[in-house]
């Protein structure tokens, strides 16, 4: 029997990562469908050099977050809670009120954050997500590519 040569698994180093910028128009898109695609890109799982313990993901810009679509009765029934830690300070708001208010970007941000790892690496990945309620964003200098959901 011949001896097989040992091949080491190649692990990507943080210095080897090249980051690209993508822009996604959320108008009329279903929230969960775009959130899974965004989370995949933020983690870097769409790349061949994906490494679980290294942030290999790209930047994602989401525009028109206020026009995202929620299926079923989620506009009235989905509730977001926030708590400061003090007794009796829990605040609750429905998805419909949050989308129509000044913080419509939080709906997309929360959906994506729930799909990222719950550790310091996940928080680092979440910082590469830029969400804007309207159609304008200040990242034109990065020359973002249009992201298709196909």
CATH of domain 19-70+101-146: 3.90.1180.10
Q: At what angle do helices 105-113 and 31-43 cross, to 10 degrees?
A: 60
pLDDT band at 9 (very low <50, low <70, confident <90, very high): confident
Across all residues in the chain, what is the average pLDDT? 94
53 contacts: CB under 8 Å, gap ≥ 6: 121
Q: Which two tokens stand for residue 27?
A: 């108008």
Q: What is the pLDDT of residues 27-53, one digit of tens each?
A: 999 999 999 999 999 999 999 999 999
As a whole number of Å, the CA-based R_g of the chain is 19
pLDDT band at 11 (very low <50, low <70, confident <90, very high): confident
Its pTM stands at 0.90
Per 3-state DSSP, the chain is made up of helix, strand and coil in percentages (nearest 5) of 30, 15, 50
Q: Where are the domains of the chain?
A: 19-70+101-146
CA 150 distance to own-chain centroid: 17
């Amino acid at each position: 029997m011949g001896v097989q040569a040992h091949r080491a698994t190649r692990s990507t180093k943080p210095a080897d990562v090249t980051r690209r910028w993508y822009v996604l128009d959320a108008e009329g898109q279903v929230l969960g469908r775009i959130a899974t695609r965004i989370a995949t890109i933020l983690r870097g799982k769409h790349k061949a050099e994906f490494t679980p313990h290294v942030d290999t993901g790209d930047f994602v810009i989401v525009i028109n977050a206020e026009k995202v679509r929620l299926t079923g009765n989620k506009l009235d029934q989905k509730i977001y809670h926030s708590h400061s830690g003090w007794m009796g300070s829990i605040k609750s708001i429905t998805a419909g009120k949050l989308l129509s208010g000044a913080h419509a970007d939080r709906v997309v941000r929360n959906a994506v954050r729930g799909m990222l790892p719950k550790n310091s690496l996940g928080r680092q990945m979440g910082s590469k997500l830029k969400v804007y309620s309207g159609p304008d964003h200040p990242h034109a200098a990065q020359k973002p590519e249009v992201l298709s959901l196909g």
